Amino acid sequence: MKINDPHFTVSRVLPAELSELQQISRDTFFDTFAGFNTPEDMQRYMEHNLGAEQLSRELENPDSEFFFARVNGEIAGYLKLNKGTACADSRYAEALEIERIYVRKEFKGAGTGQALMEKARARMQELNLPWLWLGVWEKNEPAIRFYEKQGFVPFDSHGFMLGNDLQTDILMRWL
């Protein structure tokens, strides 16, 4: 399934879709990071950061936006964007942050990540923000390669707490 297929859509996540957002958030986070972290740290992170209450607060925040990528109506991936006070690193609040961009493993390689990235770039331009940035775990080599292919370059780093484990995220930007 390619992104120009009429059965492929990218649309804003609605508050009524909270349970679907929580499900894909947990599924894709677990698939991506469980093999590299302790079960306890994964559980703590998912309970705190991907719980229904937290996701509901994020959905209601006017400085955050979520988008689903769907293939034949099935949720294939999602994107979370932040601006202003919602940015994970206040030093870069003047730009648009991609806080989360995840694709279900069965939809990888089909253009889903590319479509979500294009949505982020379009929102950056629509919001008249100067640049786009994201944080990626320094050990997530497939994601780093994907972002480099998208034209992102490293410019800084910051800490990221996964449960009780302080990890390092490489910050990358696209102008």
Whole-angstrom Cα distance, residue 44 to residue 163? Answer: 5
Whole-angstrom Cα distance, residue 81 to residue 97? Answer: 6
Amino acid at 167: Q
Residues recognised as catalytic? 147
Q: Identify the CA nearest to 55 among candidates 28, 19, 83, 82.
A: 19
Both tokens of residue 48? Answer: 């705190």
- DSSP per position, 111-140: THHHHHHHHHHHHHHHTT-S-EEEEEETT-
